[in-house]
């Protein structure tokens, strides 16, 4: 795998009329939490946790001619914890195998260098035709989010055949995807057909995305409709996205005759000028009262749509495992009530930022949320709680920035009144979080 990058650098030198364009970033991120267990009394509370990871993403494009191009994405150490990919060495005297992090212990794991995407593109008079493994992006990113920014932790990718065309300010997209299940000539592959169209200018835009997914072997059919729009009026920007999912059929888990109907949406209004600005975001995602019946109503936002440092970003509450191993990484998630991504929630997220200096910006944000659908075991436990965050971003030079965030989460009744026969309760303590991110972008 490590021979891939030198090869790209070698063949990437412009030849004939080929033009090579590089985009990408390096991002390092450190987190410190106390405590994601939301408890200091539960006997399995993990206390303070910390992690540092990095990601180096390269996105080269070979512009071969005015009619053809190749694109790729290669990630080096994607989301890898610092020190995680050390090599092993055997002590010649004791025979003990230990991890080495010095110059002789260079990481050799295959996931240290990952080919994420690669696709070709033909530019014709009637549109662009692309084929291969490519990023998926739509609207505000609630459904599809390519994750190409330095702050992103996730990305949406599909192996697809895609056609796009623009008529002045009107755009059209058509695509076919397939998720290979591993058996040739068997009707078990999940497939998708997508059709989108809309209008976009510098100050306004709207569009409708239609996605039909089907899996013949499981008699599964589902439709997703996604309406998105924005308007820019002076310093004011308003953006919305509304999504509905409808489907039914059988699942590979063995559940049959499943019916799906779920909804999610977001409305954001913000204002920005040279000195200060702010925004207010309101969002919702439907949920299920009984997750074990044959009616599926839970909708989950794309994991890249972050509203807080901890709420809908971290697994809550996370406990310490009784026996730590490589699989559980020392954590027990059996008590987790909410994870990464807004789901079964109605939330309000106002924020305000102020430019302290030309290259220093401070931002305060508040997130409050409640269950969209209660009942059953959650009856009377509807509140997720409140999170307050303070961020300071420093841009000392072009293409380089550093941002620090401090947050406190005050858990609501959804967590604080939860008890389990085996896991206990006491999930009523505030959680504190610190994050430091640094990035170089090009």
With respect to residue 305, please indicate whether it lies within any of the assigned structural domains: yes
> What was the pLDDT predicted at 10?
47
User: What pLDDT does residue 3 have?
Assistant: 47
Alpha carbon distance 130, 161 (integer Å): 6
pLDDT of residue 436: 97
Report which of 68, 67, 85 is spatially closest to residue 76, judged by C-alpha positions. 85
How far is residue 161 from each of residues 66, 86, 117, 179, measured CA to CA in Å?
20, 39, 14, 13
Q: What is the pLDDT of residue 17?
A: 60
- The Cα 83–Cα 166 span in angstroms is 47
Boundaries of domain holding 414 = 19-441
In a domain, 390, yes or no: yes
Residue 7 lies inside a defined structural domain of this protein: no
Specify if 3 maps to a domain. Answer: no
Are 136 and 157 in contact by the 8 Å Cβ rule? The answer is yes
Confidence (pLDDT) at 94? 55
Please check whether residue 2 lies inside any domain of the structure: no
Could you give the CA distance from residue 332 to residue 320 in angstroms, rounded to a whole number? 5
Q: How big is the chain, counted in residues?
A: 442
Residue 340 lies in a domain: yes
Alpha-carbon span 268 to 141, nearest angstrom:
13
The pLDDT, as a whole number, for residue 336 is: 92
Q: Which pLDDT value is given to residue 36?
A: 95
The Cα 381–Cα 370 span in angstroms is: 9
Counting the structural domains of the chain, the total is 1
Residues 124-139 have pLDDT tens digits of: 999 999 999 999 999 9
308/349 Cα distance (integer angstroms): 9
Segments of 250-359 assigned E as strands: 258-272, 276-285, 295-296, 319-320, 331-332, 345-357
**Which parts of the chain sit beneath pLDDT 70?**
1-17, 83-111, 180-188, 326, 376
CA distance 122 to 200: 23
10 found inside a domain: no
Say what the pLDDT of residue 317 is. 95
Q: Is residue 297 situated within a structural domain?
A: yes
What's residue 105's pLDDT? 43
Question: Residue 1: what pLDDT?
Answer: 42
Centroid of chain to Cα 199: 26
Those residues whose C-beta lies under 8 Å from the C-beta of residue 105, and which sit 6 or more positions away, are: 86, 87, 88, 89, 99
CA-nearest of 193, 246, 175, 182 to 217 is 182
Q: What is the CATH number of the domain that holds 252?
A: 2.40.160.100
């Amino acid at each position: 795998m490590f021979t891939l990058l030198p090869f790209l650098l070698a063949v990437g030198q412009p030849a004939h009329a080929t033009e090579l364009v590089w985009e990408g970033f390096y991002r390092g991120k450190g987190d410190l939490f106390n405590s994601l267990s939301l408890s200091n009394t539960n006997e399995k509370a993990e206390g303070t946790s910390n992690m540092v990871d990095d990601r180096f993403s390269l996105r080269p494009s070979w512009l071969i001619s005015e009619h053809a191009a190749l694109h790729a994405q290669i990630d080096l150490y994607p989301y890898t914890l610092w020190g995680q990919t050390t090599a092993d060495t055997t002590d010649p005297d004791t025979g003990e195998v230990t991890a080495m992090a010095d110059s002789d212990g260079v990481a050799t794991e295959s996931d240290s260098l990952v080919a994420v995407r690669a696709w070709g593109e033909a530019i014709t008079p009637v549109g662009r035709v692309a084929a291969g493994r490519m990023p998926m992006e739509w609207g505000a990113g609630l459904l599809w989010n390519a994750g190409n920014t330095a702050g992103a932790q996730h990305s949406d990718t599909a192996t697809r055949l895609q056609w796009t065309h623009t008529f002045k300010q009107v755009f059209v997209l058509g695509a076919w995807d397939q998720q290979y299940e591993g058996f040739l000539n068997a009707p078990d592959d999940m497939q998708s057909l997508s059709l989108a169209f809309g209008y976009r200018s510098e100050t306004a835009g709207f569009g409708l995305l239609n996605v039909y997914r089907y899996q013949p072997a499981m008699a599964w059919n589902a439709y997703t409709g996604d309406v998105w729009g924005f308007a820019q009026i002076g310093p004011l920007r308003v953006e919305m996205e509304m999504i509905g999912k409808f489907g039914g059929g059988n699942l590979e888990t063995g559940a049959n005759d499943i019916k799906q109907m779920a909804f999610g949406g977001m409305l954001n209004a913000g204002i920005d000028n040279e000195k200060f600005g702010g925004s207010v975001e309101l969002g919702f995602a439907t949920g299920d009262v009984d997750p074990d019946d044959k009616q599926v109503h839970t909708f989950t936002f794309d994991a890249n749509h972050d509203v807080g440092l901890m709420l809908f970003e971290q697994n809550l509450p996370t406990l310490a495992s009784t026996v730590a191993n490589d699989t559980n990484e020392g954590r027990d998630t059996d008590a987790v009530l909410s994870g990464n991504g807004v789901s079964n929630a109605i939330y309000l997220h106002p924020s305000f930022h102020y430019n302290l200096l030309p290259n220093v910006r401070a931002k305060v944000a508040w997130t409050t949320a409640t269950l969209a659908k209660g009942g059953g075991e959650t009856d009377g436990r509807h509140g997720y709680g409140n999170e307050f965050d303070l961020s300071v971003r420093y841009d000392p030079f072009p293409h380089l920035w550093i941002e620090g965030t401090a947050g406190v989460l005050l858990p609501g009744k959804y967590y604080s009144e939860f008890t389990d026969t085996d896991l206990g309760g006491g999930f009523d303590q505030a959680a504190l979080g610190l994050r430091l991110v640094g990035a170089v972008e090009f």
